[in-house]
Amino acid sequence: MALSQNQAKFSKGFVVMIWVLFIACAITSTEASLTKCQQLQASANSGLIGAYVPQCKETGEFEEKQCWGSTGYCWCVDEDGKEILGTKIRGSPDCSRRKAALTLCQMMQAIIVNVPGWCGPPSCKADGSFDEVQCCASNGECYCVDKKGKELEGTRQQGRPTCERHLSECEEARIKAHSNSLRVEMFVPECFEDGSYNPVQCWPSTGYCWCVDEGGVKVPGSDVRFKRPTC
């Protein structure tokens, strides 16, 4: 028995609806089988050229280290792919220590935000220490810093300066003491190879030794004579 025109239209529409539902289920099933990282990766790959594309492991989890090729920046992420504050650097951060305590540079990087007119967060090395050259995105000025991130006087300029190793506070104090020939027995600070203060400082002509903090300031009550204190 031949189908009426209305029946034929209904039958055709029903078939189309079944196909739409089938395709929708197939897409949903495919998306459901993808991990969060893989879904974000697929979405990013279909977007703008040069955009950040998440890197996933073969198992579908986020790689501990994520990189944005067009910017040169890399950072560490947690299990959900969220950036771990203080780990973003130009280059390759060590994400095997991503749960370790943050360095001063990393803490400042995590706290300081980009505000118009400000230099913004500092740039840190892979080991968490300050980059020798720090730059202000707002005006293009760059300058050299010491190990504590403090700007070295006279180094600020447009573009990147050549930041050779500058003398530390301890090294400068030591040179100044040695150059004072009028006071042969004056105190001369002891410095480590990296320029930092030795936590134990001694004045041989007096026989006294004491402890100092990172800035070379004496720790009250740490003075002892004819022996080295435990600092």
pLDDT at 153 over 80: yes
Confidence of residue 26 (pLDDT cuts 50, 70, 90): very low
Confidence of residue 30 (pLDDT cuts 50, 70, 90): very low
What are the pLDDT digits (tens) for 101-127? Answer: 678 888 888 787 666 667 788 888 877
CA-nearest of 94, 78, 82 to 126 is 94
CATH superfamily of 51-97: Thyroglobulin type-1 (4.10.800.10)
Q: Where are the domains of the chain?
A: 51-97, 102-164, 169-225
pLDDT at 9 over 90: no
Could you name the CATH architecture of 169-225? Irregular (4.10)
Tell whether domain 102-164 is in CATH 3.30.390.10.
Answer: no
Write out the DSSP string of 182-203: T-TTS----B-TTSPBPSEEEE
Which residues does residue 142 pair with via DSSP β-bridges, in sequence order?
Answer: 135, 157
Output the six-digit token pair for 165: 């190793």
In whole angstroms, give the CA distance from residue 60 to residue 80: 11
What average pLDDT does this structure show over 174-192? 76
- 195 and 186 Cβ atoms separated by less than 8 Å: no
At 101 the pLDDT is 67
pLDDT at 53 over 90: yes
CA 71 to chain centre: 15
Query: Can 51-97 and 102-164 be said to share one CATH topology?
Result: yes
At 215 the pLDDT is 87
